[in-house]
């Protein structure tokens, strides 16, 4: 590293150490609404993590990355049936979803905060054979610490939007050396690959998007279809919504209630469930919460205007219960969420203007006739109402399934490259 780069790393480390009490307090306070954040907090400092040496370590920070990692982990187990998995996370929803991937001898943990001491303790206790970071996780001290201990690191399903690349240029002295020590970068698209090379990554390969390889649960799909039949009306799903989007939707929804569509809203963050329910009620909707029933809703729960999807791990069920989905995160300047899961469930998608997190998938889905992109919520809702209950819905549903099936294979390609590094 150059003097400037070493100075940037020291300044970053010094600032992180100063902020450490505030970061830990933030996790503790967040635990008031999501208790999982208060679990095993010593792991955030690299303590309490023990697993026999030689594990394959996969870091999936949140729920979406954990779901995507499922296909890769399955492919790795096929190639190394004896493998022990160390699965780390940064969020409570990711950790909860990751429990389903555990087998005998595997271990879950929080990713240590990126201080040299926490990283050193974590690597000393776990001694992984290889580390696989999902999507965009570049942590300077973690990567330099792994290099010092001879642990090869892979950035899998890697993506870097143009917006993130521009922002990253401001911290090039810190991030470029970190990216340079990554052993292998497996990029989703050629545009991602080029931006990652420009960002300092040395060995970059195009491998595709793991999310195409995630298979929706047949049981959840079947249950969702049963729900759709029981509702007996056109169903519009607001999927993985973010703060501000539900209010925007409600301003438009009042204009279409005469059309009698049924609404399902699934917020992105569990701590917002109560807030979103209150908003729907405030706008005159009778609301039932998914958590209020098991397999099938009662007659009373069907005789409402909207459902609040206050559950985790059931998105295929909500997509299967719906005629069309409004893609959350795309109506604010947030870059959108995973539209591939909706397509794999046969649910047509209407996106807002902001899709930079899934730019290539959004473009391809629109070209395939599986999705539409609209400039705002008003136009998006208008498009959704054109789709529900029409022949167009059936055509778009078939095209969505075909689009999702066409791009599979990333898990196999990534697993082959990772195993070659062991």
Active site residues: 65
One DSSP character per residue, 90-144 reads SSHHHHHHHGGG--TT-EEEEPPPSSHHHHHHHHHHH--SEEEEESS---HHHHH
From CA 212, how far away is CA 12, in angstroms rounded? 36
Structure tokens at 334: 């947030």
Apex 34 CA angle, 68 and 337, nearest 5:
35
What sign for the dihedral angle of Cα 196, 202, 207, 209? negative
- Are residues 209 and 403 in contact, defined by beta-carbon separation less than 8 angstroms? no
Residue whose token pair is 């005159």: 284
* 8 Å CB contact between 78 and 103: no
With beta carbons less than 8 A apart as the criterion, state whether 329 and 351 touch.
Answer: no
Q: Where are the beta strands (DSSP E) in 242-313?
A: 262-267, 287-289, 306-308
Paired strand residues for 237:
264, 325
Distance, in Å, from the CA atom of 116 to the CA atom of 45, rounded to the nearest integer, reads 10
Backbone angles phi, psi at 324, to 5 degrees: -160, 150
């Amino acid at each position: 590293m150059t003097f400037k780069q070493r100075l940037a790393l020291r300044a970053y480390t010094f600032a992180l150490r100063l902020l450490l009490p505030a970061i830990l307090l933030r996790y503790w306070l967040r635990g008031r609404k999501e208790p999982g954040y208060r679990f095993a907090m010593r792991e955030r400092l690299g303590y309490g993590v023990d697993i026999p040496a030689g594990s394959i370590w996969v870091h999936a920070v949140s729920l979406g990355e954990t779901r995507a990692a499922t296909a890769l982990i399955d492919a790795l187990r096929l190639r190394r049936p004896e493998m022990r998995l160390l699965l780390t996370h940064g969020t409570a929803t990711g950790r909860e979803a990751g429990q389903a991937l555990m087998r005998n001898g595997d271990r879950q943990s929080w990713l240590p905060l990126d201080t040299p001491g926490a990283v050193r303790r974590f690597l000393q206790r776990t001694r992984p054979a290889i580390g696989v970071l999902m999507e965009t996780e570049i942590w300077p001290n973690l990567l330099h610490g792994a290099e010092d201990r001879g642990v090869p690191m892979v950035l899998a399903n890697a993506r870097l939007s143009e917006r993130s690349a521009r922002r990253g240029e401001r911290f090039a002295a810190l991030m470029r050396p970190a990216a340079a020590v990554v052993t292998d970068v497996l990029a989703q698209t050629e545009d991602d690959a080029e931006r990652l090379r420009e960002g300092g990554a040395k060995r970059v390969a195009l491998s595709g998007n793991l999310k195409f390889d995630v298979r929706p649960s047949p049981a959840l799909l079947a249950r969702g279809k049963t729900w759709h039949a029981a509702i007996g009306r056109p169903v519009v799903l607001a999927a993985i919504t973010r703060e501000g989007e539900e209010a925007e939707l409600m301003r438009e929804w009042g204009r279409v209630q005469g059309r009698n569509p049924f609404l399902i809203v699934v917020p992105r963050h569990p701590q917002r469930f109560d807030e979103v329910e209150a908003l729907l009620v405030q706008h005159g909707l009778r609301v039932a919460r998914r958590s209020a029933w098991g397999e099938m809703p009662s007659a009373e729960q069907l005789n409402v205007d909207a459902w609040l999807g206050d559950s985790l791990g059931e998105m295929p069920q909500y997509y299967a219960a719906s005629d069309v989905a409004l893609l959350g995160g795309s109506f604010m300047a947030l870059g959108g969420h995973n539209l591939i899961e909706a397509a794999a469930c046969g649910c047509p998608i209407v996106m807002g203007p902001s899709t930079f997190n899934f730019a290539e998938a959004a473009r391809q889905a629109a070209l395939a006739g599986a999705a539409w992109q609209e400039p705002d919520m008003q136009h998006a809702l208008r498009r959704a109402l054109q789709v529900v209950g029409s022949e167009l819905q059936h055509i778009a549903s078939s095209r969505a399934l075909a689009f999702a099936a066409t791009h599979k294979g990333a898990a196999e390609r990534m697993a082959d490259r990772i195993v070659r590094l062991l």
